[in-house]
Amino acid sequence: MERVLITGGGGFIGSHLARRLFKKGDFVRIADIKFEDYIREKYCNEKSQLDLRILENCLTATKGMDKVYNLAANMGGIGFITEVGAEVMHDNVLINTYMLEAARQNKAKRYLYTSSACVYPTFRQIDPQVVGLREEDAYPADPDNFYGWEKLYTEKLCEAYQRDYKMDIRVLRYHNIYGPEGTFKGGREKAPAALCRKIAEATNPGTIEIWGDGKQTRSFCYVDDAVEGTVRLMESYYDKPINIGSERLVSINELTDIITKISGKKIEKTYNLNAPQGVRGRNADITLSKKVLDWEPKIDLEEGLVTTYKWIEERVKEDRA
C-alpha cells in the first residue's frame, strides 16, 4: 500500500483520481479548500480541508506521503479564466510553490504536477483546423491567458526543483477533460458541462446560447481516460511535460449537436459573438503519450457524453425539485 496525497481532491479530476487509487488499495489522503462531493460513495481514507496557499497547510498535507498528485488550482472555464487574472495567478503560484517546497521538505518520493493545454502559444491556435499541439510547441511562449502563463511558469519551477534538489517530478498537460461528477453550473464549468446543462434546462423544443460562432474547435478527453493517463505517468520513468488528451477535433457546433441528439430534444442555437471563446482551435498531439505511456483515450466522445449528459440531467432535475 502506498500513501498518496491528491490536492484538489474535492474537485472534478482530483476526486475521480482519488476514487481510482482508493479502489486500487492505496492509502489516499485528499486535500482541498472545499469539497463538492459529487462522488457520493467513499473515495478516500482521509479528507483534509486546507487552504494550500499557506505553506504550513501544505506541510501538513504532504507529511508522511509517498506520492503527491498536485491538482489543486483556482480555475474554471473560458468565461472565468478570461475575466479573472490576478486572483488566478496569485493563488496558483502560492499553491504550487508551497506544494513543491512542502513535498521536498517532507521527502515525498515522487511528485506530479497537472499543467494545461493553456500553456500553448496563441499563434499556433488561430485556425479552427489546428494541427495537433506537440509538447515542444510550448516555446517560444505566448499563452493566450494569465492562467496559461501561470501554468507554464510552474512547469519551469518543477524543472528547477528537479535540477537543484533532484526531486522525482512528473508534469502533464490536460486537454479539455470532461465527464460526470464535476462542476456543471456557477460559471466555472467547462464547455461540455455547460452545454449539457443548457440543453437539460431547455424546453423541448427550445433554444440555447452558444458562446462565439460555434466554429471554434477543441478536442475532449473523458475523465476516466485522463485518470488512467495520469496514473501511468506517475508510475513511468518519463520526467518531461506530456500531453494527456484526445486527437479528435470537433467544433462547438458539432459538440452541441451530439449532446442535443443524446437529449432527444429539438434545440435551436443562437450565438453570442461578444462572449469569451478562447483560441480559435486547439487539438492535442498524443504521439509521445502513446510511445512512453502506451496510453491513448479508449472512450469515444459520444459514449462519454451520454454518461455526462445523463448525470447532469439528473442534477438539473434535483435542483428543480
Cell of 219: 478536442
Indicate the SS3 state at residue 176. coil
d(CA 292, CA 300): 22
For residue 205, the one-letter residue type is P
Q: Has 271 been annotated as catalytic?
A: no
Cell of 18: 482519488
The separation between CA 255 and the C-alpha centre of its own chain, rounded to angstroms, equals 18
d(CA 182, CA 15): 9
d(CA 249, CA 218): 6
Largest distance between two CA atoms of the chain: 61
Provide the pairing of β-strand 249-251 with 67-70.
unpaired
Task: Tell me which of 69, 98, 147, 309 is the catalytic residue.
Answer: 147
∠ Cα 241 252 189 (to 5°): 65
Q: How far is CA 212 from CA 24, 131, 299, in A?
A: 42, 21, 28
Contact by Cβ (8 Å): 309, 315 = no
Distance in Å from the first CA to the final CA of the chain: 43
Q: How far is CA 245 from CA 40, 43, 221, in A?
A: 26, 24, 5
| Helix axes 301-320 and 252-263, enclosed angle (nearest 10) | 60
Contact by Cβ (8 Å): 133, 243 = yes
Catalytic residues: 147
